[in-house]
Structure 1
């Protein structure tokens, strides 16, 4: 196969409806196998925002230097010959396709051979996607600076952030202003309720978004939301870490929490402001003892008490996405790459000088 990029622009399909939905214009980029010859043993060296493991066991990372795949030995920058975009979010859908959300440079769908780029010109509310999620029905939800887009594979529904709420957008092709806090996290709980985090916390009832508050007050700057194995909702953001059991909501810590993740054993992991003095002497495996953020583990055995036992495992200037792989290792991203914690030591995948 020739070592070139082939770009196929398919005809624009006629708009199917007025106002809220649009049919996309497919833009497929065919890359040949030579694009994967640049694999190395060095991981990403820029901001790493999100990490997932695919159905084959490969680790994927959305970074400001591109989307990387790690096969257990080598790292490959999958997007290096397609775009120079910085990437923020990543998803593998039920069909095996990957979705890569960039920082204001479009959303890319990758089927292992073709890249399809979607932008606001195709119907998306935003060119960037800080969060990507697939619901039980197979809809893809894309959260950006202006709000959220639901894509069913054919048409789009758009919901805008406005006046501390999220509202249906009935004006197709309208460019909406970026919100101070864009959509950062999206999940669907076991009851089919969609939870969306932005400047506040919102729940989608199938027709509209309703604010979810704590003690009569709205949440501020939500960064992460998950549902645990018992159906509790955990919320992380500027107000700290919260647990909601369906009836009551409890504050776990008031430290700023950026990411929340539950491992297979039931422990909750967070990236957050660290609890102790910045200049304490710490074990060397915890990295920079002057850093302001901690990778923390809340013990599963005490998780539902008033004060769960928490252990700070690693320290960095800031910590982003968290993942447990199929071998039980914990991966996390920061300003200059990705790290793997095996329970004892931390590997940073940088080339040693």
Structure 2
């Protein structure tokens, strides 16, 4: 573990125009009733890349995958009736990448190349660059405390005012990466797809002080509502961060090419040098990561008690006995305490002792 390093924030020039017109209304967004999609019940879960997993207030588990959006009825005992349903059959054949349930109970799903879809329980509504997004590759979705929905896209971020009824007023405000800076765009500029590194916004998070953090494949930015700052360590920009979260103690965690880092009391400490893709805090205060280890990809769990020490070491949990199928992605603690995570070949559930995968024609261990 590296020694702790003080942090500095570098102020960037940011032209913030609160009186400028926002970019587009949503009355052109396409709606597809779920009842007309002819959804197909899947006996097993997805068999391809599963990037994000969430559980909504009804208890269903939703997965953003490259085969579509899957819903898992976690309230129904396994083996009794239909468990998995591909909800976007007939809606979109896009590769889905990100997911969020907002404070109103609507579900949002980002895609690579087809913008973002909102599902209100009946209809899917599609938003693209035609409606105000700066780019159609939506890699992250986040709701701030004010109820704005933020989309991390290739080229920057977009803030959607979900409080405005569709077609009434304007809804999108876009913030683009220009060189080393992140600035608001009021011209309606769009960014071509497939321009990912270093323009991709990987994660967005609002901390307990109200500041927003934007992790990109380039620099990491902190936004106070008026000004974007570059987050620095060792007099260098903190770069290529894939995930940023704030834990229940107010500590901020970063994961990326340079490993796993913890930011506390204005000090940044490297916890692990292994590449870290996702970070998740469970209800007990344990920190989970999907990361690369010396033996390939695995889940790592840092127990809450161990995190109080100077050199916390994780419990590495590897579900793959017969080889490693590739990367591990989004992590979720379900209501029953089980840990779900996505991989390049589908989704797994870990109950503390055993792994269950849901690929192929049914559930198996």
Please say which of residues 311-320 and 124-133 is displaced more in the overlay. Answer: 311-320
1:80 Cα offset (Å)? 1.1
2:189 paired with 1:180:
no
2:226 paired with 1:210:
no
Q: What SS does the corresponding residue of 1:251 show, helix, strand or coil?
A: strand
- Determine which of 37, 43, 46 is the counterpart of 1:44: 46
1:95 Cα offset (Å)? 0.5
Matched residues, number: 321
- Determine which of 297, 311, 324 is the counterpart of 1:307: 311
Q: Distance in 1 between matches of 2:264 and 2:230?
A: 17
Q: Distance in 1 between matches of 2:332 and 2:64?
A: 13
Q: Which residue of 2 aligns with 1:54?
A: 56
Matches within 5 A, 1:187-206: 187-198=205-216, 199-206=218-225
TM-score, length-normalised on structure 1? 0.87
1:29 Cα offset (Å)? 1.2
2:28 paired with 1:28:
no
Q: Which residue of 1 aligns with 2:95?
A: 86
Bigger fraction of residues in strand? 2
Q: What SS does the corresponding residue of 1:191 show, helix, strand or coil?
A: coil
2:174 paired with 1:151:
no
Q: Which residue of 2 aligns with 1:165?
A: 181
- CA distance change for structure 1 residues 174 and 183 in 2, over 3 Å: closer, same or farther? closer
Q: What SS does the corresponding residue of 1:121 show, helix, strand or coil?
A: helix
Please say which of residues 150-159 and 255-264 is displaced more in the overlay. Answer: 150-159
Q: Which residue of 1 aligns with 2:146?
A: 137
Q: What SS does the corresponding residue of 1:303 show, helix, strand or coil?
A: helix
Q: Distance in 2 between matches of 1:122 and 1:239?
A: 36
Where structure 2 has 5 or more consecutive residues not aligned to the other structure, the ranges are 1-18, 163-169
Q: Distance in 2 between matches of 1:318 and 1:176?
A: 27
Q: Is the Cα–Cα contact under 8 Å of residues 168 and 208 in structure 1 kept in the other structure?
A: no
Q: Is the Cα–Cα contact under 8 Å of residues 18 and 172 in structure 1 kept in the other structure?
A: no
The superposition leaves residues 300-319 of structure 1 with CA deviations (integer Å, 9 ceiling, x where unpaired) of 10113221131101154210
Q: Which residue of 1 aligns with 2:239?
A: 220
1:173 Cα offset (Å)? 4.2
After TM superposition, what 4+ stretches of structure 1 lie above 2 angstroms from structure 2?
17-21, 33-36, 173-179, 350-353
- Determine which of 271, 278, 298 is the counterpart of 2:302: 298
Q: Distance in 1 between matches of 2:233 and 2:89?
A: 43
Q: What SS does the corresponding residue of 2:305 show, helix, strand or coil?
A: helix
- Determine which of 286, 293, 304 is the counterpart of 1:267: 286
Please say which of residues 73-82 and 18-27 is displaced more in the overlay. Answer: 18-27
Q: Distance in 1 between matches of 2:56 and 2:354?
A: 24
Q: Distance in 2 between matches of 1:246 and 1:126?
A: 36
TM-score, length-normalised on structure 2? 0.84
Q: Distance in 2 between matches of 1:168 and 1:345?
A: 48
Q: What SS does the corresponding residue of 1:32 show, helix, strand or coil?
A: helix
Q: Distance in 1 between matches of 2:58 and 2:315?
A: 31
1:174 Cα offset (Å)? 4.2
1:343 Cα offset (Å)? 0.6
Q: Is the Cα–Cα contact under 8 Å of residues 20 and 169 in structure 1 kept in the other structure?
A: no
Q: What SS does the corresponding residue of 2:25 show, helix, strand or coil?
A: coil
Q: Is the Cα–Cα contact under 8 Å of residues 133 and 190 in structure 2 kept in the other structure?
A: no
Q: Distance in 2 between matches of 1:219 and 1:256?
A: 15
2:253 paired with 1:244:
no
Q: Distance in 1 between matches of 2:327 and 2:303?
A: 22
